[in-house]
Chain A
């Protein structure tokens, strides 16, 4: 993982299968190594405001629901209640609080609430900030996008925390 600053993206969609189309395009960018992607997550926010992960993709373009720390970084920053079901399991109290701090400081939580209204589909992603224009081009169907930025060191630290939590669970 590079020390480059990371963009934390929330893209909202009127139509769920078009979100999936853009999700696939972003994962393809990761697979092709066009940009350095930490993780991409396809989500749906239900009418009660609860976020559900439909699919996730990692930095190598692999898809699945539990595909490593990059996805955990995305979920932790954008939808922390989902950490338990995606990346690190239910015992990740410590790492969750670290994410909470970053969400608060970067305003990501607020952006997430505003950008993704109940009933919408979304693509969440974290990637190296210098890939922003490639990402923008890939999101042809997004109705609204919102981007926050975190520095590379913080991202690294959060990812390490995730790895630690996952290791703890495994052990």
Chain B
């Protein structure tokens, strides 16, 4: 059967009917080799390399006038096309959901990030079976498929080895996955997943995730080609860069020494000028002003300026390294002789650059995630504590730069990540390179394009239809529009003429060049209850939020608000927004924040968690919920004659986490309050040998957020030591570091055993049991459920 005669509208593609002859014996039987041949992609179908970086702004890469040297992006742009009106959703998971499925993010349950599966259809964080990713379509049509790096489309609570696995990459169209499931990762100590298995933190001292991602991708490409000389492949390469933690070797950051000493105000002006010179923005574009919420560079102290300049040097080095690693993959494809027929789509950022580091930036993004209020002075002191400027970007910190750098990086637009109402949150650079499919080299395209267009475009390029059914489930049509029509026609009228935007209550409605912006009066780094109560049910009327109206063909940057001149257009677009919102499951607005407003999930039934001694790499979203109340950790040990040492159980690292361990013969407990303060307790006497039960009890002052309390250590039920912890972590120790039994993988919780990491226990840990509900009253349970849900949501906002 020829490729062309295959019915590809239903997946899996049915095997062709047997056209040979079968007799009683081979005598007279006629074979049909088509019957056993694998499905082949359409003749000439291109390979596809899809790249999406993270938390990166329109004004960052050099190819778009920015200060970050992006040799790969620029090279591809010179040989292909740059798109200067490409849009994301303004938040990580929602963009990735739209990218993968070709549908609007709420329509596939991703109004919010994957860490928060909510109780409304637009916020389930579970891609529906009737909206399968286009990767599944390529896979079913004869492509080899793989995903490397950040996934962020598996609900937080489903990332453990108990599954379910139907929202892991292997189930959603990828033959191979190597990366991390959550929204962020340490770059030096990631907790990695390979297919459906946690492979944990790499042991190599010089491990660096983006480098390893490129190596893995190249290895996979070589493997595919070794197996089949012509099978097309689809590789999705999604670095964690440039999401926090901003971590990169100093040599990369040092390439930018002094490059940002002029500050964010001047940088933005310089970038704007370069953007005009390069022609990536119109000559009549206006530079939007700095919001009042951000300080002028000139108003800062010398120490602040020097620290902040280093923050941006690190971010720039981190971003350049990611681009360099993408270049390694491109080079490998070229070396294989396949670049000409590889469609490369390189998207710089899944949203605008992130404002979530607050105005000062932070040494540890978990401090922000936990709502720990740190003054400017404290932030500086904590940078000092963890190694000073030289350590910013190293594994001693999990840093995020100042919001004002993000604003500068989103030049020439207003705002940034989370702000779906404005282009700083939504508009990102895109470059498309495909020598066999694009005639023009170095061209610019300005048709409106959206992340949900990527899937439809790739399917058209591959020559395969959107399937009507996958695995027996009827598929909803994709919402995006293929932009293949733009490849050879810069002036083609745009076909994606209408698009709603909504993230965390910030709304936008685009229609035929007009854009209505409706931003909630909340700056993206403010998630405290006081700020949010103005948006409570019955208090907030979204239609009373200020509305700004822009006509983008004349006003590229959203600099001139026309709402007062065109009230009828405002009303029309507002109505259209609600129509689109209802069609795509956007309501209830703030559905992803329901936990803030008293809508709580059923109380968890499980209060005791048992881990046997060989359990490692427990995903951070699935560790026992020990926050904000009393809890007990007990362990059964076997200690040989002569004693033992090592970690019994540890979660996360020195920037937030706990470890129960044995050192110098003593039972010890260390608790890091997001790197701000450490609490340590130890037994007064040495541990006995033989079978030993040890226990750490935390008696909270009250079940309340960040409660203090008393720690008591027990050996064989006898109290042996203890002490007070003034504060505890209210939300989560880490966005990416996991829990281990019998060792402390990755960065250690207590630096005292750093030179022995992972400090594996030299006796035997038979099991560790967490009791997270030992002393609660019913009222306390209710209060805690309320807080836990708030906390969970707060984490999700910053993921």
Q: Which residues of A contact B (CB under 8 A)?
A: 12-15, 18, 47, 117-120, 140-141, 143-144
B718 within 8 A of A: no
Name 12 interchain pairs, CB-CB below 8 A, sorted by A.
Answer: A12-B381, A14-B303, A14-B306, A14-B383, A14-B389, A15-B306, A18-B303, A119-B388, A119-B391, A120-B384, A143-B380, A144-B380
Contacting residues, chain A, for B389 (C-beta < 8 A): 14-15
| Chain B residues near A (Cβ < 8 Å) | 301-303, 306-307, 377, 380-381, 383-391
B306, A144: Cβ atoms closer than 8 Å: no
* CB < 8 Å neighbour of B301 from A47, A117, A118, A140: A140
CB nearest neighbor in B for A12: B384
B interface secondary structure, majority: helix
Question: B302 to chain A: which residues have CB within 8 Å?
Answer: 15, 18, 140-141
A118 to B386 Cα, complex, angstroms: 8
Is the pair A143, B387 in contact by a Cβ cutoff of 8 Å? no
A109 smallest CB distance to B (angstroms): 18
Contact A18 B306 (CB under 8 A): yes
B391 and chain A: residue at smallest CB distance = A119
- Chain B residues in 8 Å Cβ range of A143: 303, 377, 380-381, 383-384
Q: What are the 3 A-B residue pairs with the smallest beta carbon separation, nearest first?
A: A143-B380, A119-B388, A144-B381
- A interface majority secondary structure: loop
B311 to chain A, nearest CB (A): 12
Chain A residues with Cβ under 8 A from B388's Cβ? 14, 117, 119-120
Residues of B within 8 A of A12 (CB): 381, 384
Residues from chain A with Cβ under 8 Å of B387 in the complex: 47, 117-119
Contacts of A14 in B (CB 8 A): 303, 306-307, 380, 383-384, 388-389
B384 surroundings in chain A (CB, below 8 A): 12-14, 117, 120, 143-144
Chain A contacts of B377 at CB under 8 A? 143-144
Residue numbers in A under 8 Å from B385 (CB-CB): 117
Q: A15-B303, A144-B377 are in contact. List 7 more A-B contacts (CB 8 A).
A: A13-B384, A14-B306, A14-B307, A14-B383, A117-B388, A118-B387, A144-B381
Residues of B within 8 A of A15 (CB): 302-303, 306-307, 389
- Which chain B positions have C-beta within 8 A of A141? 301-303
Q: How far is the CA of A143 from the CA of B306 in the complex (A)?
A: 12
Smallest Cβ distance from A140 to chain B, in angstroms?
A: 7
In Å, the complex CA distance between A141 and B306 comes to 11
Q: Which residues of B contact A120 (CB under 8 A)?
A: 384, 388
Complex Cα gap A118–B302 (Å): 22
Shortest Cβ distance from residue A81 to the other chain B in the assembled complex, whole angstroms: 22
* Cβ-defined contact, A119 with B390, below 8 A: yes
Min CB distance, B573 to chain A, in Å?
48
**Distance of A13 from chain B, by nearest CB (Å):** 8
Q: Which residue of A lies closest to B390 (CB)?
A: A119
A119 to B394, CA, bound (A): 14
Give the Cβ gap from A27 to chain B, nearest Cβ, in Å: 19
Bound complex: CA A12 to CA B301 (Å): 16
| Bound: A14/B387 CA distance, A | 9
Bound-complex Cα distance A120 to B301 (A): 18
- Collect the chain B residues with CB atoms within 8 Å of residue A144's CB: 377, 380-381, 384
A50 to chain B, nearest CB (A): 15
Q: How far is the CB of B206 from chain A (nearest CB, A)?
A: 19
Distance from B58 Cβ to chain A, minimum over Cβ atoms (Å)? 31
Q: Which residues of A contact B391 (CB under 8 A)?
A: 119
Contacts of B306 in A (CB 8 A): 14-15, 18
How far is B385's CA from A120's CA once the two chains are assembled, in angstroms? Answer: 9
Chain A residues near B307 (CB-CB < 8 A):
14-15
CB closest residue in chain B, given A47? B387
Residues of B within 8 A of A47 (CB): 387
Q: Which residues of B contact A119 (CB under 8 A)?
A: 387-388, 390-391
Whole-angstrom distance between the Cβ of A151 and the nearest chain B Cβ: 29
Q: Please indicate which of the listed interface residues A15, A18, A117, A143 has the most CB atoms of chain B within 10 Å of its own CB.
A: A143
> B235 → chain A, closest Cβ, in Å?
41
Among residues of A, the one whose C-beta sits closest to the C-beta of B388 is A119
Best-surrounded residue of A13, A14, A118, A141 (most CB of chain B within 10 A): A14
CB nearest to B306 among chain A residues: A15
What separation, in Å, do the CA atoms of A140 and B302 have in the docked complex? 9
Complex Cα distance, B382 from A143, in Å, reads: 10
The answer for the CA separation of A75 and B387 in the assembled complex, in Å, is 23
Q: Roughly how many angstroms separate A24 CA and B390 CA in the complex, as a whole number?
A: 24
A120 vs B382: C-alpha distance when bound (angstroms) = 12
Nearest-neighbour CB distance to chain B for A123, whole angstroms, equals 14
The answer for the CA separation of A119 and B383 in the assembled complex, in Å, is 11
Return A33 CB to nearest CB of chain B, in Å.
27
Complex contacts, B386 vs chain A, CB 8 Å: 117
In the assembled complex, the CB of A21 is this many whole angstroms from the nearest CB of chain B, namely 8
Closest Cβ–Cβ distance, residue B171 to chain A (whole Å): 47
A18 to B380, CA, bound (A): 14
Residue of A with least CB distance to B389: A14
- Cα(A144)–Cα(B301), bound, Å: 14
Closest Cβ of chain A to B392, distance in Å, is 10
In Å, the complex CA distance between A117 and B388 comes to: 9
Identity of the chain A residue whose Cβ is nearest the Cβ of B383 in the assembled complex? A14
User: How distant is the Cα of A30 from the Cα of B278 in the complex, in angstroms?
Assistant: 56
For the complex, give the distance between the alpha carbons of A144 and B375 in Å.
13
Interface centre among B303, B387, B388 (most CB of A within 10 A): B388
CB distance from B169 to the nearest CB of A (A): 40
Determine the chain A residues whose CB is within 8 A of the CB of B301 once the complex forms. 140-141
In the assembled complex, how far is the CB of residue A112 from the closest CB belonging to chain B, in whole angstroms? Answer: 14
Specify which chain A residues have a CB less than 8 angstroms from the CB of B380 in the assembled complex: 14, 143-144
How many Å lie between the Cα of A18 and that of B383 in the bound state? Answer: 16
Chain B residues with CB under 8 Å of A118's CB are 387
Chain A residue at minimal CB-CB distance from B381: A144
Q: Shortest CB–CB separation between residue A119 and chain B, in angstroms?
A: 5
- Distance between Cα atoms of A47 and B383 in the complex (Å): 14
CB-nearest residue of chain B to A142: B303
Least Cβ–Cβ distance between A43 and chain B, in angstroms? 14
Nearest B residue (CB) for A15: B306
CB-based nearest B residue for A116: B384
> A15–B306 Cα gap in the complex (Å)?
8
Task: Name the CB-closest residue of B to A118.
Answer: B387
Min CB–CB distance B416 → chain A (angstroms)? 26
For the complex, what is the distance from the CA of A13 to the CA of B387, rounded to whole Å?
Answer: 11
Nearest Cβ in chain B — how far from A64, in angstroms? 27
CA separation between A45 and B380, bound complex, in Å? 17
When distances are taken between beta carbons in the complex, the residues of chain A under 8 Å from B381 are 12, 143-144
Q: Which of B380, B384, B390 has the most CB of A within 10 A?
A: B384
Determine the distance from Cα of A14 to Cα of B303 in the docked complex, in whole angstroms: 7
Query: A143 to B377, alpha carbons, bound, how many Å?
Result: 7
Q: With A and B bound together, what is the CA distance between A119 and B390 in angstroms? A: 8
CB distance from A144 to the nearest CB of B (A): 5
CA distance A118 to B391 in the complex (A): 11
CB distance from B262 to the nearest CB of A (A): 17
Complex contacts, B390 vs chain A, CB 8 Å? 119
Which single residue of chain A is at the shortest CB-CB distance from B380?
Answer: A143
A12 to B388, CA, bound (A): 11
A14 to B360, CA, bound (A): 15
B688 CB, min distance to chain A CBs, angstroms = 34
* Alpha-carbon gap, A144 to B381, bound state (A): 6
Q: How far is the CA of A140 from the CA of B383 in the complex (A)?
A: 18
**Alpha-carbon gap, A141 to B302, bound state (A):** 7
A135 to B532, CA, bound (A): 43
B241 to chain A, nearest CB (A): 25
Complex CA distance for A14 and B305, rounded to whole angstroms:
11
What's the least CB distance linking B673 to chain A, in Å? 16
How far is B307's CA from A140's CA once the two chains are assembled, in angstroms?
15
Q: Measured between alpha carbons, how far is A47 from B388 in the docked complex, in Å?
A: 10
Residues of B with C-beta under 8 A to A140 = 301-302
A14 to chain B, nearest CB (A): 5
* Closest-CB distance, B83 to chain A (whole angstroms): 41
CA distance A31 to B689 in the complex (A): 65
Point out the residues of chain B lying under 8 angstroms from A18, CB to CB: 302-303, 306
Distance in Å: Cβ of A39 to nearest Cβ of chain B: 24
CA A47 to CA B307, docked complex, whole Å: 19
CB neighbours (8 Å) of A117 from chain B are 384-388
